[in-house]
Amino acid sequence: MKRKQYEFIEVVNIGSRKRMQNAPQVSLAPSKAIMPKPPLVAEGSQVFPCYSAGRVFIHLDITNARAGFQLHRAVLERQSSWFANEFQKSDSITDSIRFLFYLKTCEHKPPLLVQSYEHDVKSVSQSNYINPQKAKAAQHINDTISAKSSTTSSDTIKDESIQSRAIVDLTNRHSHNNGLGEKREAPAQDSVQNSSVANSREQHEYHRSKTAHRWLLGMYYNLAPYLSTTDIDEALTQCEEIVRIANYYGSLPTVRPYLGNALSQFRQGLYHAIARDPPRWLLLSVKLELGATFSEAMIHCAGVFPYSLWPTDVNTLPENLLTTIKAKARDLAFLRSQVSIELHMNTLAEAEGGPAVSLLSAPEAWAVVQMFRDWLAHQERNLRQANKLYDGRHFRKIRKGREAYLPSKLMVTLLEEAGLRGILKYNWDAVEDDLNCLKDYAQQAVESLMKNNLMVDPEVGGITYLTCVQVDSKDYPWIQAVPKGL
């Protein structure tokens, strides 16, 4: 029992071995009022998140010491450039505790890990990483260290209490003491409500970041995260948080296969979710290097540019993505203009390969052509007034052909209302044949615009704009960034 006690003191004290051997004996019997918790790390444990051979301790919840990790330095160095840099900054705390990290919340910044150094050994001894049955011995050693260090300067004391103040700051952030020993005045009701809302938001953000850190550390050990499998919007939020912290720790290559696989499990639901907010998914696809997601989101964004229909504004995207969107939008506008010209040049010929009908050669057929062009002009005028957001619906009608738009009976009615029936000697039964010839040609003319490159049916999804934008692998930002020849 005596050997085990010295072994514990070796963990919590950075003094010499001689001082530890002279430490007073303390009874290790547990208190009757407080039952001891089982040790967090069992002897010889080789199960995530705590490995007995691990010498890197990570606190994700400094108010609950058991919500921690004991991991291997070699694994963290291999998976994260941030951890590799942190390990090079400092030496080990003790022979048994190599490095200690805890999740810290800063003003207006999301919670991130920070490293504790030698002055934080006291906080380590108070954690449940060490056998709780020896907590009283640890407390005695801490009291001894505190008594001997009470003569140091105020600056040193300030440094040695960083971890303690961090814990107090997190659990009692809104203290009623202003630091001068005076009591604050009772805050107004609105201020209390605003403070409550801010606290709730901060706690939610802290919990979300803590969960994302737990998943990230698990992925270092080839454990897939438990993302939502029923709510694609919740899964998107979870992925964004993981990507945020993985990017900070230099671990994006590690998380990409896990998150990409998790999102692909939604199958068709993924593409319907992309249609609800393409710019947001575009940003995520670049971080995760998801080609199919990038293409889907890019088609939506370029189809309506420079307009934006979604919660995330297209114009807030990074410059390199905006450049690609603008280029795709220009290509689409050029193709549309060519198709529009082709439609307005649509006419009837007197014979196969012969000249087009005219008012003198075939006034009756010429009247049908003019009425068809007039209908096109009115439709495009209405589209121009409604921006370009309904181009797809207009051209899809033309693609369907025949009675999908401008029925033959309506054409006869329009010709009669124009007073042409009594002037022109026309076989009105031929109106339908002439009109169908015009529609058949128009149907072929819009074929290039009607190619749907989305993974969802535009009509089923209620998409009113064109979806024929072509996105190739050469448009992927992560491929553009790779030098040629590699």
pTM here is 0.73
The tens digit of pLDDT for each residue in 101-125 reads 888 877 777 888 888 865 444 444 4
Q: Report which residue type is found at 473.
A: S
Average pLDDT over residues 7-24: 36
Residue in the block written with tokens 């529009």: 340
The tens digit of pLDDT for each residue in 252-300 reads 999 999 999 999 999 999 999 999 999 999 999 999 999 999 999 999 9
The tens digit of pLDDT for each residue in 57-77 reads 898 876 666 668 899 999 999
Say if residues 95 and 7 touch (Cβ distance below 8 Å). no
Say if residues 471 and 294 touch (Cβ distance below 8 Å). yes
Average pLDDT over residues 144-161: 38
Both tokens of 398, joined, read 């033309």
In terms of pLDDT, which residue wins out, 331 or 193? 331
Mean pLDDT over each residue of the chain, to the nearest integer? 75
**String of DSSP letters for 64-109:** -TTSEEEE-HHHHHHH-HHHHHHHHHS--SSSS--EEEEEEEETTE
Q: Give the pLDDT of residue 25.
A: 43
